[in-house]
Structure 1
Amino acid sequence: YRPESLVWLEGYQALLRWRKENEITGLYAVAYDVEVEVGVTKAFPLGRWVHQQRKALRAGELEERRKLLLDAPEAGMVWEPGEEAWETKLAALRSYRRATGHLAPRQDAVWGEGEARVSIGQHLANLRRRGGLGKDPERAAMRAEQLAAIDPDWNCPWPLNWQRHYRVLADLVDADGSLPTIEPGVLFEGDDLGKWLQQQENPGNWKLLSPEQQERLTVLGVQPAKAPSPASAATRASKGPSKAQVAFQRGLAALAQWVEREGAHRPVPRGHSEQIAVDGAAEPVVVKLGVWVSNTRARRDKLAQEQLDALRELGMQWA
């Protein structure tokens, strides 16, 4: 058993070391999700420790000598509740973006647990409104930069509903190399991807899209509907399966690298990418492994038996 004073000093020293390593000076609000390595502890919850000091001060439970240490220039403690709340919400947005690949939640979406639980859909809707970042221009500009660092499209000029569907399809293309056939009625987390895709391909709706929206869909292989010529249909038929097959083999190779290095027991973070060597390529190819594993698992019922066998050999029990 360690005295409580040593436990507290461990957090304080972690704060000083983290600020020094990141060359932070002056007042600075530590984000709620910041974790650091302290001795044998690989993920010491520094952000939550700082949050607890604010709570202790408000409850009258923080000893004066400890407040003096936190007020010292080298600690740079921010006591203002408004900044604390902002950092907590920012941490929730980072976590949501890592998990979903976008900052375009439904308005009723909620994210996080316990004190970090945020009504993230309503919160983001408020931020996108005029003046949503606050009345202070300097602070608003800084917050806009923080949000853009999480997702450049957080304040896209089109509806979040469009952005959410687009990002899901973009992840499919990133994982498989081409957009699979998606019929109306195919749902993903409550969104009808097939119906939405059909709406975008409608020539009348296509004209209503901005040039940037049209360009993004074109990159995914989406075009306004028209009568296909026999030649173009044959070309798509010959190219489509080969791209998907190549993408699966690359994903499998990247997964094999991960398992060899990290072990099959450790899940692949959604945002993780692997570089693999490809025959005939001058440089390594980057595979978005986290997205690939997530999408492959979601569509495991549609995989061929040999694909399932290959995944099981790498320790993927869900296959």
Structure 2
Amino acid sequence: MPTHGQHNIKNTHYDQFLTNISVSYTDTQNFIGEQVVPIVEVQKQSDKYMVFDYQDHMVADDDIRRAPGTVASEMRTGWSEDAYYAEGYAKRYALYDEEIANADEDAIFNLKEMAAKQVKAKLLLNKEINTANLMTNQNNFHKDLRVSVGESATADLIKWSDYENSDPMKDVFKLREKVERLGGMDMNTLVLSKPVYNILKFHPKLKSTLAGFTSPEMVSDEAIKQLLGVDNLIVANARRATSNQRRVGQGGMTNYIWGNNAVLMYLPKGAARDIPAAAYTYQWTNPQANVVGNQKTREYYSEDSKTLWIETEEWYGQKITSDLGAIVLPDIVNPLT
């Protein structure tokens, strides 16, 4: 891709309307990163963050009565040893003079709107990759929750694509109980890459459990949630392409960003720095950019290239906030063929 110099730039300004378009565009059909690792807006680019690995609330005191003139017994939560750092991410889209000259006033705005959405989609793709790398790395979580997956009884879990020998329901309930005994939160969410989701839809053990009520050709999403005891089922459908695959249908197959993995995790109903969660995205609002929104969109014109640029930027850092907040089931299926 050609790049252009930054000199001879004019009419640079942040645009609140284009920023609103960028912020509201989420493409939830593909990208789940902001669902799985929720956003918490922060005022500082770098700071300590709360971690939720203390369980003082579960410690049964012999006596918490307070005598007159004495202080209450202490309990606390923890703070991280390191700090999040909200790195900057940016992408821009080129609208050439020739395109703008051939468009009427409404079409020019539509071009800008399309450009803002295209740029936001690229930022979402990048965030999806970062989120998947964070949440599918077993080393980010408690050592006692690192399970092995294979095709024999020597593994902790049998691959769910082995329809004869695997038992997804038993696996999930066993892992959930283990987390609870370690002091973790109730695992209420199952994140499935699309290949894992496809396998579970046809799993005979799930279908046979439903057989007394229905005779399904495939298992519904609601049934999967009920049978596996989770409140949230999140399917990761996002794929990534190489530079050789820029044109649809050329250059071979794309790859699912979340691989063949599943993640059993705790996801809070709301996001805040003091609400327990497996992980958070600390998104810096950057007050120096004078528009409101997690992402900031600006436009500027380059004299050298005769190009109007639509650029969106954001700043965030992602951190695991509880090493008991998730269990990674790595390569849990062989995909359908």
Which band: TM-score by shorter chain?
Answer: under 0.3
Q: Larger relative contact order (C-alpha < 8 A, sep ≥ 6)?
A: 2
TM-score for the superposition, normalised by structure 1: 0.24
Whichever structure has more helix as a proportion of its residues is 1
TM-score for the superposition, normalised by structure 2: 0.23
Whichever structure has more strand as a proportion of its residues is 2
